[in-house]
């Protein structure tokens, strides 16, 4: 019986958090990487994730979604190469990236929580992360949270949803200046597997796919990563996906845009928001996949090395100090 206490408490906390978000009128849009998209009306949960560059300035990296007054959801692949909070800022209320706007709110980042199963046996599965802001958000008509779906509830195939972001508007272009939007239908796992299986592993539990297939040019692109796929459900917008991957050249063609399936991660999201900062010991491996990463010879590659210093310091040969925290 004692073993059931913590899961039960967690479920109560999750239910309370979802109700709290709903109480703040989550998923209500103020009336006022996206290929083939149109300029967007304001989407108040849309966040911009900025990364510190060598000159000290912060530049557009990925999209994200506000889910309560101090946390955003994004993709783990946006943060995996450098999971240090001080490397990032989050901007809310953004529309035109080139102009300062009264609606904008900018935040330092105090915590980064990556899904530890990303880039393991399901490759790009588990491509979801949560980021804590340095202070609470000032909720306005231009800044408010998106609703999370009920845990494990799936969105119906054929539902028309919206992808928003400042990603490239073509493969050869830079990031968009104006927030873009594009409408995409949810597609079946079978269709996504046929269209995308030659690119990467496609997983029905951790991923949801959207797009038109055929010879469509409408898809996500670089810079849209981590951003929201939202669906209007009963008059409220719900976060159904986090932009993960697709065709490498942003040309949808017969492929689809692939998203982290948010409904599969609601429990994980709530758990990470309530958990203390994890401690990583420099001379103790803490990840079940360390041996496989060593076999893949990625310990010292640019994309992996910073996170593997924390996950696999012994296996990767980084055992040279006492304690590392994230």
Question: What is the band of 220 on the pLDDT scale with cuts at 50, 70, 90?
Answer: low
> pLDDT at residue 214 above 50?
yes
Residues 6 or more apart from 223 whose CB is under 8 A from it? 33, 60, 61, 62, 63, 165, 166, 167, 168, 175, 176
Mean pLDDT for the stretch of residues 140-160: 96
279-281 and 323-325 beta bridge pairing: antiparallel
Picking from 193, 270, 257, 191, the residue whose alpha carbon sits closest to that of residue 228 is 257
| Torsion, Cα of 155, 78, 127, 299 (10° steps) | 170
Picking from 325, 318, 195, 168, the residue whose alpha carbon sits closest to that of residue 250 is 168
For each of the domains in the chain, give its residue range(s) and CATH number, in order of start.
46-133 (2.40.10.10), 159-263 (2.40.10.10), 283-325 (no CATH)
Weakest-pLDDT range from 36-40, 213-217, 306-310: 36-40
Look at the chain and count its residues: 326
Mean pLDDT for the stretch of residues 213-232: 76
Q: Which residues are catalytic?
A: 77, 127, 225
Mean pLDDT for the stretch of residues 286-315: 96
Question: What is the band of 36 on the pLDDT scale with cuts at 50, 70, 90?
Answer: low
CB neighbourhood size of 323 (10 A): 10
Picking from 49, 83, 88, 41, the residue whose alpha carbon sits closest to that of residue 66 is 49
pLDDT of residue 216: 58
Task: Kindly report the average pLDDT of the chain as a whole number.
Answer: 86
pLDDT of residue 44: 94
Weakest-pLDDT range from 23-32, 134-143, 157-166: 23-32
């Amino acid at each position: 019986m004692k073993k059931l206490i913590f899961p039960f408490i967690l479920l109560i906390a999750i239910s309370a958090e979802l109700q709290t978000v709903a109480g703040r009128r989550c998923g209500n849009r103020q009336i006022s990487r996206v290929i083939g998209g149109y300029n967007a009306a304001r989407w108040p949960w849309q966040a911009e994730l900025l990364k510190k560059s060598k000159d000290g300035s912060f530049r557009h990296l990925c999209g994200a979604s506000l889910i309560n007054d101090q946390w955003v959801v994004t993709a783990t692949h946006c943060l995996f190469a450098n999971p240090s909070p001080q490397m990032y800022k989050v901007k809310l209320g953004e529309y035109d990236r080139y102009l300062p706007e009264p609606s904008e709110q900018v935040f330092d980042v105090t915590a980064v929580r990556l899904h530890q199963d990303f880039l393991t046996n399901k490759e790009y599965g588990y491509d979801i992360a949560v980021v804590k802001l340095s202070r609470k958000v000032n909720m306005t008509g231009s800044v408010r949270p998106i609703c999370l779906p009920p845990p494990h509830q799936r969105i119906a195939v054929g539902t028309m949803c919206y992808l928003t972001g400042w990603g490239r508007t073509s493969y050869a272009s830079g990031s968009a200046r104006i927030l873009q939007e594009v409408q995409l239908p949810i597609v079946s796992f079978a269709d996504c597997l046929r269209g995308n299986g030659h690119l990467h592993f496609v997983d029905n539990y951790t991923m949801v796919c959207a797009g038109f297939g055929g010879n469509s040019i409408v898809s996500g692109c670089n810079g849209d990563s981590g951003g929201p796929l939202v669906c209007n459900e009963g008059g409220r917008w719900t976060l159904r996906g986090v932009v993960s991957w697709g065709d490498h050249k942003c040309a949808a063609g017969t492929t689809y845009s692939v998203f982290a399936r948010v409904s599969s991660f609601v429990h994980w999201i709530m758990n990470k928001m309530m958990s203390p900062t994890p401690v990583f010991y420099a001379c103790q491996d803490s990840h079940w996949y360390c041996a496989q990463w060593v076999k893949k010879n990625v310990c010292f590659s640019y994309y992996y090395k910073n996170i593997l210093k924390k996950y696999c310091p012994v296996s990767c040969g980084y055992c040279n100090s006492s304690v590392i925290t994230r």
